[in-house]
Amino acid sequence: MDVKLTTLEQLIERCWNSAEVETAKAVVQKHPSPSEEQLTFLFSGELRRAIGDASSARRIETAFLADLRRSIPRLDLGVARRAGGLVARVNLHGRWHEGNVSAADLGIVITRPLVRLSPGRINVEFRRDHPTGLLAQAKLGRAVGPTEGGHAWGRLTQSQAGLFPKRRGYYSLLLYRLNGQNSDELEPFAWQLCRNYTVRQVKKWLRSDAFPGEISSSEVLRRLFARMIGTEDPKVIQTIIDPTGAGAHSIELQIFWPDGSGPPPSFPLCELQHKRQEVHH
């Protein structure tokens, strides 16, 4: 049984949402009418700052330990101490390889610990660096005018359309909406998951400015943490979503223990119980 890291997930959500707010402020104050790539660059910097601040203040560690104590009341204090020290960082990798491989211009990868209780709650297992990845085709929608309403979106390229059927199981649209006379009012990010849809349907959404299942960034993060969307296939993540040295454009959010620290891979809870009983006797 997986231990739900709800407190940690909610902390990451707050950092992400704070980064969106700060990105919107930067557009108003300094970067009107940005491009998709500029928005992604601005946002990744704000996310890096928010996650870095939470990590430095040990809020990442505190949230993780709170989840462990809630789910595993019998967890030994010594193991809990070794499970401390969890930190987080955000990396923004190069430019895209969308034309030939991914069909997307952005990859989102969340790498985090995976904690499991064995059947009968005999052992607790810690797995480091478990990734979940999601491809995102960032699309910029500009308001078309006060009389027409709605937003005008870019189209899928021919190569993106051709690759889409291979990637749609872990593919999404990341929708940046700009309003205002100077295109300097950025709405909260919206996402449209593309699993179970065809490329023809995606093209229709972009033409009509009508997306059937938009969700917020908080919901995307919740589903990624719960491993409900995206992919956990390490080969797909390493070669398509977040490849090393391939010029891919990706945001990698890592929650990890520095080298030489962290809990043991597995710990028998039953032995803890016996030791505590012996001490009490």
Whole-model pTM: value is 0.88
| C-beta of residue 137 within 8 angstroms of C-beta of residue 114 | no
Lowest mean pLDDT among 78-87, 162-171, 237-246: 237-246
What is the CA angle 83-84-89, rounded to 5?
Answer: 110
In this prediction, residue 270 carries a pLDDT of: 52
Count helices and strands in the chain by DSSP H and E runs: 9, 10
In this prediction, residue 281 carries a pLDDT of: 44
94 pLDDT band, cuts 50/70/90, is low
Regarding beta strands 171-179 and 190-193, do their DSSP bridges make them parallel or antiparallel, or are they unpaired? antiparallel
92 three-state secondary structure? strand
Distances, alpha carbon 165 to alpha carbons 171, 208, 228, in Å:
10, 21, 20
Rg, the chain, Cα only: 21
Mean pLDDT of the 234-253 span: 78
* Residue 119: partners with Cβ closer than 8 Å, 6 or more residues away: 1
48 three-state secondary structure? helix
DSSP string, 122-145: -EEEEEEEEEEEEEEEEEEEEE--
- In tens, the pLDDT along 25-77 reads 999 999 999 998 899 889 999 999 999 999 999 999 999 999 998 988 877 77
213 φ/ψ angles, rounded to the nearest 5 degrees: -145, 50
115 three-state secondary structure? strand
